[in-house]
């Protein structure tokens, strides 16, 4: 390792060293949404495109603002509980995470004409506020004994030319010669490692909405909205690998353990626009349709990492005897853009007098149309390398799908009883992924309406599956994949006043 400093300088200055290159998974993560809005919207499974008169419906169809009879203000805090079960290397591990969030906060100003006024346009409604679109809060972990050809030392021996390889070299885990990177002989004959990793994810996407709608003869409602999307996504992962046989059980190896810590913080701001219409041919029936433009977001990702190693028998480096090694990659910013796909939604609502209603929505979205791009406006952050392969992977891996939502409300004097279901289809082409990623949402809720005050509560239970890859190996068959089943339960309370 006489040329240690030279190699490190070359590695950290080289664009190929960036370990936080953008992938198709980044585009998908920030393109997927969940049922959103007030407790009333959530209680009916998010099927709001033809219902109207609820602030949460602004997310799906801004024309619903035209059905407001009075102005109102509402606030919707919530609690989310995530439970995960991870399957890796033949073992199962569970974890959980709780988080508080604001599901919705909004104010609606309605200027409806009196019934005695015979004007065709019955009055406009303006609304502004925020709605939570997605929740990234999640913990999962695994602990297992991978095969020798699957463990982290196998990955380091392959020398893929990114940050992890630079850290391993600096921490004396690897050497380099004319043939490339290799594990020194001192670490050969290492037994099967005990490998553990914890992943902590937090954040979400919140949309700041500004919408307006008008009402034509109480038959046609037309509305539009602009959404400003704020993205916050943080990931902290800690991977440890230990040779349980050393030192006495396997004296032929110097390797004792390693701990790899990675921290990624993502911040983004995007914008989209929506147009919608609701048609009421008869009092009992409402038909809704809306479109949403692609969401264009500017994103900055900050990445840092460290690697700490211990040796069961000291090693000699440039005349020095060492029992451990340490390496750090300081925080660095990477700027890029994400264009999330266009959405189109259609829905129907059947209103049974004053007894309640039933509604259903179908939303079309093509995840294969998402794109990663360069952000030349950010002079303080580096730019990604060639994004062509990542965009090719988006087209090859993802497909169009239809998200279905259905729900209903039963009115019992001043009380409301609600239930709903939503199924968000898989974005994956069957041939390109082992994860279906189909998500199911089961919802229920209660409400109270009295004078100018209303109070609603909703519970949403969701389930889904994802696949996590700790690192890529030269052999796709040996690349480890962790299957994660995620079950979430979210409670939301909405309190509001009409004025």
Tens digit of each residue's pLDDT (9 = 90 or more) over 221-241: 999 999 999 999 999 999 999
User: Cα–Cα distance between 147 and 89 in angstroms, integer?
Assistant: 8
Min mean pLDDT across 115-124, 162-171, 245-254, 348-357 is at 245-254
Tens digits of residue pLDDT in 196-217: 999 999 999 999 999 999 999 9
Q: Check residue 314 and give its pLDDT.
A: 76
Mean pLDDT of the chain: 90
Q: What's the chain's Rg over C-alpha atoms?
A: 27
Q: Check residue 190 and give its pLDDT.
A: 79
Which of 3-12, 252-261, 339-348, 427-436 has maximum average pLDDT?
A: 339-348
Q: Check residue 477 and give its pLDDT.
A: 92
Q: Check residue 5 and give its pLDDT.
A: 37
Of 427 and 191, which is predicted with more confidence? 427
Q: What Å distances lie between residue 183 and 137, 270, 324, 348, 441, CA to CA?
A: 37, 45, 16, 63, 48
Of 90 and 46, which is predicted with more confidence? 46
- Going by C-alpha positions, the residue among 392, 309, 406 that lies closest to residue 362 is 406
pLDDT category at 246 given cuts 50, 70, 90 is low
Reply yes or no on whether the pLDDT at 101 is more than 90: yes
pLDDT category at 375 given cuts 50, 70, 90 is very high
Reply yes or no on whether the pLDDT at 250 is more than 90: no
Polymer length of the chain: 499
User: Cα–Cα distance between 28 and 19 in angstroms, integer?
Assistant: 19
Q: Check residue 13 and give its pLDDT.
A: 34
Q: Check residue 118 and give its pLDDT.
A: 81
pLDDT category at 186 given cuts 50, 70, 90 is low
For the record, the structure tokens of 408 come out as 């209903």
* Percentage of the residues of the chain whose pLDDT score is greater than 70: 92
Alpha-helical segments (H) within 292-448:
388-397
The predicted model gives 146-158 an average pLDDT of 92
Q: Check residue 76 and give its pLDDT.
A: 98
The DSSP annotation for 234-264 comes to EEEEEEEEE-TTTTTT-TT--EEEEEEEEEE
pLDDT category at 436 given cuts 50, 70, 90 is low
DSSP 428: B
Q: Check residue 245 and give its pLDDT.
A: 67
Q: Tell me how crowded residue 35 is: count the other CB atoms within 10 A of its CB.
A: 31
The predicted model gives 407-421 an average pLDDT of 97
Q: Check residue 422 and give its pLDDT.
A: 98
Tens digits of residue pLDDT in 3-28: 333 333 333 333 333 455 678 999 99
pLDDT category at 322 given cuts 50, 70, 90 is confident
User: Cα–Cα distance between 53 and 271 in angstroms, integer?
Assistant: 24
């Amino acid at each position: 390792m006489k040329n240690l400093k030279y190699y490190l300088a070359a590695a950290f200055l080289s664009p190929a060293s960036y370990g936080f290159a953008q992938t198709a998974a980044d585009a998908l993560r920030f393109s997927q949404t969940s049922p959103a809005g007030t407790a009333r919207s959530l209680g009916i499974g998010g099927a709001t495109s033809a219902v109207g008169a609820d602030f949460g419906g602004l997310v799906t169809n801004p024309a619903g603002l035209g059905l407001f009879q009075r102005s109102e203000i509402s606030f919707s805090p919530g609690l989310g509980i995530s439970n995960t079960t991870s399957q890796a290397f033949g073992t199962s591990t569970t974890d959980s995470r709780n988080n508080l969030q604001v599901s919705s906060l909004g104010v609606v100003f309605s200027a409806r004409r009196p019934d005695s006024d015979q004007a065709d346009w019955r009055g406009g409604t303006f609304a502004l506020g925020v709605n939570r679109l997605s929740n990234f809060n999640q913990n999962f972990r695994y602990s297992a004994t991978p095969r020798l050809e699957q463990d982290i030392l196998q990955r380091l021996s392959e020398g893929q030319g990114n940050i992890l390889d630079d850290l391993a070299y600096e921490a004396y885990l690897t050497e380099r010669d004319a043939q490339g990177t290799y594990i020194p002989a001192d670490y050969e004959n290492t037994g099967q490692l005990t490998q553990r990793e914890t992943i902590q994810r937090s954040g979400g996407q919140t949309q700041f909405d500004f919408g307006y709608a008008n009402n034509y003869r109480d038959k046609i409602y037309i509305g539009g909205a602009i959404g400003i999307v704020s993205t916050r996504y943080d990931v902290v992962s800690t991977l440890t690998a230990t040779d349980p046989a050393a030192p006495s059980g396997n004296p032929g190896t110097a390797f004792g353990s390693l701990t790899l810590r990675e921290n990624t913080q993502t911040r983004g701001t995007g914008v989209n626009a929506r147009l919608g219409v609701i048609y009421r041919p008869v009092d009992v029936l409402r038909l809704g349709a809306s479109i949403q433009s692609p969401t264009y977001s500017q994103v900055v990702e900050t990445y840092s990492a460290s690697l700490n190693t211990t040796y069961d028998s000291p090693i000699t480096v440039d005349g020095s005897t060492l029992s451990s090694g340490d390496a750090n990659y300081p925080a660095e910013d990477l700027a890029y853009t994400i264009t999330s796909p266009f959405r189109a939604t259609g829905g129907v609502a059947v209103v049974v007098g004053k007894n309640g209603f039933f509604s259903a929505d179908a939303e079309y979205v093509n995840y294969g149309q998402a794109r990663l791009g360069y952000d030349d406006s950010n002079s303080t952050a580096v730019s990604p390398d060639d994004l062509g392969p990542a965009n090719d992977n988006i087209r090859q891996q993802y497909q169009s799908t239809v998200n279905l939502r259905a729900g209903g409300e039963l009115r019992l004097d001043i009380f409301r009883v609600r239930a709903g279901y939503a199924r968000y289809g898989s974005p994956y082409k069957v041939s390109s992924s082992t994860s279906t990623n189909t998500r199911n949402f089961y919802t229920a809720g209660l409400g109270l309406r009295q004078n100018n005050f209303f109070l609603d509560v909703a519970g949403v239970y969701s389930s889904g599956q994802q696949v996590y890859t700790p690192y890529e190996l030269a052999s796709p068959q040996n690349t480890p994949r962790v299957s994660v089943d995620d079950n979430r339960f979210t409670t939301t309370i909405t309190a509001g006043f009409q004025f």
